[in-house]
Structure 1
Amino acid sequence: HALHALSRDEALRMRIGVLHRPSAATSADAAAVAAAAWNELAAREAPLPALRRLLALLHLHGSRPLPLHSDLLPSDLADAVAARRDGVRELLQLHAQAAAAFELPSGTGPLILANGRLIEAGELLEAEDLELLVEFEFRQRAEGAAELLAAADGPSDAEGLSSTLMLAVAQTSRAAQAAAGEEAGRSDGIRPGDIPCEASCVRLPGAGPGEALELLVVLDPLSKEAQRFSPIMMGLQQALGLTIVLHLNPTLKLSEFPLASFYRYVVNLLPKYDADGALLSAQSDRAIFSALRTPQVLTLHVDAPEAWLVECVEAAYDMDNIRLSELGDKRTLTASYQLASLLIT
């Protein structure tokens, strides 16, 4: 039925791979001959009719050795199988390892792995069932990934990338399916579509392949957490090309000023190097406060983890008592800090 469905796949959306799982009653030699015959016929031009006849003979003879000199099979198949048999024995070992990795139960009926997901066929599937499964997988998972992969820049050798791209789509689909299964048991999970993006929402579109990844953020704009996370959020978008949906959720009643300080959070997710390969983070990572207009005395403080001992190594003024009104014509004030020691527990 799978071969029949493949022969009717005019949209070229279906690819079939066979995982050989011989029963315990099948001898190792008979299994190797059957697998070698399948691989030989599948590699030939227009293989579907010959593969159907091979499956019919395998079904007829069961665990007995396959008659390679049957009139239903090509006359040169016996010689080709003899040349392939030793290599196929190693291939069957890899198939057994794959079956164990997927935790496929032994002694059961047909099983289907669709885009990395195990589908147990309770009864024999018809070609129409497989066609419906392919259409469902394409619409629900593969179509969006295929469009992004087609738009992504890369080598032009489509044949060489075909298997790699199919593996990437399958692994991505499997991970999404696993995550959806985990979220099914949680009642407090939030999906991107659960909160509509309206007046208090900002959508920052991504770019490139990362555009398919959507980061949903809910923040109180007048909070220290928002001061910290805003540069992290922008750094993630620049580094990965994420699509960010930001929902502003401010506190409606305030008893005091929510923000008592000017705050900058330094984060750099795209390291830079000079011509000699040296890291430029020490020169490029900096916090800049601009257009400050206040008569109050300011203190420059580094908000570092408790295990870090950060010291000021270069400053022209007392960073604990900064009076902007006393700077005169000097329009900028700079200071350098470095990590002096680190407490490891």
Structure 2
Amino acid sequence: MSIARLAVRSSSAAWRANQPFFVTVIAYILIALIAAAHWKIVIDVKLYNKNFLFFGSVVTLILVVVVSGRLIIERPAQPLRALKDLMLAYNLPNRIIVGLPVALVLPIFFSTFTSIKGGITKVQPFYADKALAAIDRTIHGGVDAWRFFHPILGFGSLTFSLNVLYNLWFAEVFIVLFCVVFSTRNEGLRSQFLVTFVLTWALLGNALATAFASVGPAFVTTFYGDATFSPLMDYLQTTNVTYPVLALDTQSYLLNAGLDGPHLGSGISAFPSVHVAAATLNAIYLWRFGRLMRWASIAFLAAIQLGSVHLAWHYAVDGYVSMLMTPIIWAIAGRLSNARLRRTDID
């Protein structure tokens, strides 16, 4: 087979496997660009290029080390033949064909998302915090959610542990994401996850975040001059003397980032919680992979929800809505993915 025919076949296979994802991402980026032009929001599509290149290089290096280690241990008579057989056994060529185009598009998606998130106040000013805090009090017996959980969580060592888990969210989300991107075992499940991932970030992290523009407990004093959550911030500052509370540094970064355009991880918004939404999506996906994965993902979701409130990032309702909306988006994405995959098979 010629190189040209192989390239055509590979491109066709990649498009068939990823059509629902690409259609969803392209639609999102087009809508984002139109919104950015209308509200004069700066879009930087290269924000995450270096980070994804670094992450991809680390993953590739780990793969090379694992494969090389196996070959060194087994000492096959024909190393190159053994390497080829190992690659075929793990379906590596097809994984690369199917997954690499998605991996190349993801930095553009995340860069667009962050740019739009950073431009929320160009659409409308923050306004919803008072209402969200009131809803929290109604749900939690007339007290702020952080006070409701504080008798259990208000210990320095536990605060530190929750902060560590909250920061590990990035690793959990992107490890699961890349595992799905390069998976080939269940095409329908893979497509459903990827479409849900994009829609969750777009609908919850951009659309709803703009419609209910809010800053979260950590920033209400800065943006509103409201001292309601000063006791929580005082507790975190006091704890930080003994146990590092890295959330305080990140919150300080967010206040300064984005003043001259989008930056890595910049943009402030509380409702709803993308952290909780992503953890919910991973729990839904990992539910089918045995008890360990199932309950570990549920425990991690609980830690992210509690940490988001205890570390002053979110109102509890931000996470509750995310946990409610993500399964709905998952179901919709399943219908969209399956319908498009069926049409592709017919064509």
Q: Normalised by the size of structure 2, how large is the TM-score?
A: 0.19
Point out the structure with the larger helix share.
2
Q: Normalised by the size of structure 1, how large is the TM-score?
A: 0.19
Point out the structure with the larger strand share.
1
